[in-house]
Structure 1
Amino acid sequence: MLSRIIALVIKELLAILRDGKSRMVLIGPPLIQLIVFGYAASFDLNHVPFAVYDQDQSIASRNLVADFAGSPVFQQVAELHSPERIKALIDSRQVEMVLSIDPRFTRDLLSHKPAPVQVIVDGRNSNTALLILGYANSIISKASTAWAAEHGGRAPPAQIDPRALFNPNLNSHWFIIPGIVALLVQVVTLLVVGLSVAREREAGTFDQILVTPLRPFDILLGKSIPGLIIGLVEGTVIILATVYWFGVPLLGGLLQLYIGLILFVVSVTGIGLMISSIASTQQQALLGAFLFMVPSIILSGFATPIANMPALVQDLTLINPMRYALVVIRRCFLEQPSFSSLVPQYTAMAVLALLSLAAAGWLFRKRAV
């Protein structure tokens, strides 16, 4: 029996690797997505265009403007002499922030009073606006502390001494790119496995497989192992690119990482076989795969925290294997997790893998009759 399954696995691998379109699915999309996400996807802000409305025109106000202009986050593009242009510049998206300095700025500083500085931001993208306000507040706080130290003023009563664990520079790529490992492994595995049975049905060779000595379980196993192998190879390539190309540190153990990766690939393989067993054509299988992938990515915590989602949606994420894979992969990259601390994620993915494979087997036998 083992030799028959191995023969079917080899046949599946040859069918995938010999077909030019299948090879493109394995190489092209993952490579493009890795480059796009790796370089384009970022929560960091750089070169935010801003305008200055300096009503004080003093050395202190110019120093504050210089602090903003000298920051890698901000880029001054305009200097205003009246408030009328502020709304027009923000409406046209020429600037995302306007720094308005009160005419009493220097006088209030010298008299040790709060010196008003207004920061006007484009609130159409609330996340970006909050980030801009955070950066602006940091620059103004540092300038205020420096002024107090230089002129003998009273220092702020409390000062923030920031320290970030696991990601000292708060580089968002260290959070996003490890998540791409799970995302691309899911995409490739789901497409390879999802198209396997549908391709046989479309080509008219599925009935020939059914009349062989192979049992339905053997056929199911032979169809799933190639997807498992390809998913693990694809995951290894992306992990190497993450570490050696993008420079994201891999602090955790490879054993913990690959146990999670194997369980994740097995659970995705079961889902892919369910889709493939239901679909009659490759087009149906492709649509079914994408129908699953989009909600899976959104409900995984890849970009938005699961804790911020409504309670009902949070419950739905419990049946999403990518949710648990992201926790394992990100922790293995940025932390040094023990095996025991990852057992809840391993257990959840193992249960989902068993359920999806059992459901795929039932659907396969039902369609094979």
Structure 2
Amino acid sequence: MRRIFGLIVKELLALFRDKRSRFVVIGPPLIQLIVFGYGATFDVNRIAYVVFDEENSGASRDLLARFEGSRVFRCVGRVHSDEEIVKAIDRKKALLVLHVRRNFSRDLFVSPPARMQAIVDGRNSNTAGILLGYVNQIVLDFNADWLRSHGMRPPPAVLQPRAWFNPNLESRWFIVPGLLGTLTLVVSIMTVGLSVAREREAGTLDQLLVTPMTPLEIVLGKVIPGFLVAMGELTLILLTAILWFRIPFVGNLLALYVGLAFYSLATIGVGLIISSISMTQQQALLGSFFFLSPAIVLSGFSTPIRNMPELVQWLTLLNPLRYALVVTRRVFLEGAGFGEVWPQFLPMVLIAAATLLGAWWVFRRRVG
């Protein structure tokens, strides 16, 4: 144990005494957290739109005022012909054109329904779909108020949507908790993935091998510092998510840490395998990025796993980040505890055992 403890201290000193290593551990994760927290969003805000109001009546102005008063939309002008509509969409001046035809008020009173046209730039299908949902909601609210104010019979059924766990439907509440697992993965892979390769390049690995330490003790001396750094990074990201981004944390803190501890061990094992195979730090860096990209894409961080092809869905079962994201998001938003997230622990434990045993086997073969 004294030999392992000495190697742990050596690894931590080598990591934090070097300015570049300190920056890699602390700087990029925080920068990425800020960038993703503010930049990576599915919310649609301040949508530029133009108005083509052929009637300009009290009813049409009432309807259009609801768009002007919404924080989602931003009126950038008015057009007066179909040709101007084409120019506004083609030149990306506006994503939406609201077209109120003549006789809109007459149709409201005499022969409903009165029709309004919404022309959307469909080049970005995801934004267009979300945008049409907002337009439809404003029109539904207008209909309900119109019926009420004119003493007409309300529609027989009215949809009242309610969102559980994220009542304001802010995508930041979904993205930032996922960054706990994603950024912890990056730090674990990068710090541990370079450790053995750095020793081999510096020539200190041979010095370690002639000491009384066994390959298992050397591996433990590499794993434990990486684990401590990963958990420290996790705590830093967690505090930033709660205190800076104001993401509500309503679950069991211990369940979160236990789940992410198993996850960190699994990712550290992968990093140590990469480092043991690599002859130089450059090779270790390239190997780390080779693992990181598919791991993040196949985790469900940004796209649902159920939307992927069936074969790819089976591959995601080998990805520890998949289970870590479930744990973080359920604990953060759903108030989950051990009873709800323990099924995610078992696959992470199995992956951690496989990767750590694989790291020990690869390291012993490479230095033997």
**What is the CA deviation profile of residues 282-337 of structure 1, one whole-angstrom value per residue up to 9, with x for unaligned ones?**
11111111111111111111111111111111111111100000000111101122
* Alignment partners' CA distance in 2, 1:94 and 1:197: 54
Q: What SS does the corresponding residue of 2:75 show, helix, strand or coil? A: strand
Q: What SS does the corresponding residue of 1:177 show, helix, strand or coil? A: helix
Q: What SS does the corresponding residue of 1:159 show, helix, strand or coil? A: coil
Length-normalised TM-score, structure 2: 0.98
What is the CA-CA distance between 1:93 and the residue it aligns to?
1.2
* Alignment partners' CA distance in 2, 1:112 and 1:363: 78
Structure 2 residue aligned with 1:253: 252
Structure 1 residue aligned with 2:9: 10
Structure 2 residue aligned with 1:330: 329
- Could you list the runs of 4 or more consecutive aligned residues of structure 1 that deviate by over 4 angstroms after TM superposition? none
CA contact (8 A) 1:112 1:154 kept: no
**What is the CA deviation profile of residues 107-148 of structure 1, one whole-angstrom value per residue up to 9, with x for unaligned ones?**
111125111111111111111111100101000110111111
Q: What SS does the corresponding residue of 1:75 show, helix, strand or coil? A: strand
Structure 2 residue aligned with 1:206: 205
What is the CA-CA distance between 1:267 and the residue it aligns to?
0.4
Q: What SS does the corresponding residue of 1:288 show, helix, strand or coil? A: helix
**What is the CA deviation profile of residues 136-178 of structure 1, one whole-angstrom value per residue up to 9, with x for unaligned ones?**
1000110111111111223223211121111111111111110
Length-normalised TM-score, structure 1: 0.98
Structure 1 residue aligned with 2:262: 263
The alignment's C-alpha RMSD in Å is: 1.0
1:141 aligns with 2:140: yes
Structure 1 residue aligned with 2:231: 232
1:319 aligns with 2:318: yes
CA contact (8 A) 2:331 2:337 kept: no
CA contact (8 A) 1:148 1:154 kept: yes
What is the CA-CA distance between 1:27 and the residue it aligns to?
1.4
Amino acid at match of 1:202: E
Q: What SS does the corresponding residue of 2:301 show, helix, strand or coil? A: coil
* Alignment partners' CA distance in 2, 1:15 and 1:146: 68
CA contact (8 A) 1:277 1:360 kept: yes
Q: What SS does the corresponding residue of 1:100 show, helix, strand or coil? A: strand
* Alignment partners' CA distance in 2, 1:111 and 1:8: 86
Amino acid at match of 1:84: E
Structure 2 residue aligned with 1:38: 37
What is the CA-CA distance between 1:202 and the residue it aligns to?
1.0
1:21-36 → structure 2 map (5 Å cutoff): 21-36=20-35
What is the CA-CA distance between 1:201 and the residue it aligns to?
0.7
1:233-312 → structure 2 map (5 Å cutoff): 233-312=232-311
What is the CA-CA distance between 1:70 and the residue it aligns to?
0.9
* Alignment partners' CA distance in 2, 1:112 and 1:27: 66
Structure 2 residue aligned with 1:119: 118
Amino acid at match of 1:136: V
Q: How many equivalent residue pairs?
A: 368
CA contact (8 A) 1:112 1:153 kept: no
Q: Percent identity?
A: 54
Q: Could you tell me which runs of 5 or more consecutive residues in structure 2 were left unpaired when the two chains were aligned.
A: none
Q: What SS does the corresponding residue of 2:194 show, helix, strand or coil? A: helix
CA contact (8 A) 1:202 1:281 kept: yes
* Alignment partners' CA distance in 2, 1:210 and 1:103: 87
What is the CA-CA distance between 1:272 and the residue it aligns to?
0.4
Amino acid at match of 2:68: A
Indicate the larger mover: 103-112 or 208-217: 103-112
Q: What SS does the corresponding residue of 1:56 show, helix, strand or coil? A: coil
Q: Could you tell me which runs of 5 or more consecutive residues in structure 1 were left unpaired when the two chains were aligned.
A: none
1:150 aligns with 2:149: yes
